[in-house]
Amino acid sequence: MDPISDMLNRIKNAQAVRHATVAVPFSQVKFHIAKLLLEAGYLSSVEKTMKMAKKAEVAWLDLGLKYADDRGAISGIRLVSTPSRHIYITAKNVKPVRSGYGMAVLSTSKGVMSGKNARKENIGGEVMFEIW
pLDDT in tens, the chain (132 residues): 799 999 999 999 999 999 999 999 999 999 999 999 999 999 999 999 998 877 888 999 999 999 988 899 999 999 999 999 999 999 999 999 999 999 999 999 999 999 999 999 999 999 999 999
Is the same domain home to 28 and 87? no
Boundary of a domain, candidates 48, 74, 100: 74
Is the same domain home to 12 and 69? yes
Is the whole-model pTM more than 0.85?
Answer: yes
User: What CATH number should be reported for the domain holding residue 101?
Assistant: 3.30.1490.10
Is the same domain home to 10 and 70? yes
* Closest to 22 (Cα-Cα) out of 2, 40, 1, 42: 42
Is the same domain home to 4 and 69? yes
Query: Collapsing DSSP states into helix, strand and coil, what is residue 91?
Result: helix
How many structural domains are present in the chain?
Answer: 2
Query: Collapsing DSSP states into helix, strand and coil, what is residue 42?
Result: coil
For residue 80, what are the domain limits?
Answer: 75-132
Query: What pLDDT, on a 0 to 100 scale, did the predictor assign at position 51?
Result: 85
